[in-house]
Structure 1
Amino acid sequence: MNLFLKRNVESFLMAINENEVCNNNDVFFVVKSNLFDLFIEGDADGGVFFTYSIGYRCDNLVKFLSELSPERINGFIIHVFIYRENLCICYQIDDLSSRYEKLLLMNHNKIKSIIERLCR
Structure 2
Amino acid sequence: MPTLLGDKIRKLRQGKRFSLDQLAELADTSKSYLWELENRDTANPTMDKVAKIAAVLGVTPEFLLDNQQTELSETVADRAFFRKYQKLPAETKQKIQDILKVIQEPDKKSE
Q: TM-score, normalised by structure 2?
A: 0.41
Structure with greater proportional strand content:
1
Which one has the largest radius of gyration?
Answer: 2
Structure with greater proportional helix content:
2
Q: TM-score, normalised by structure 1?
A: 0.38
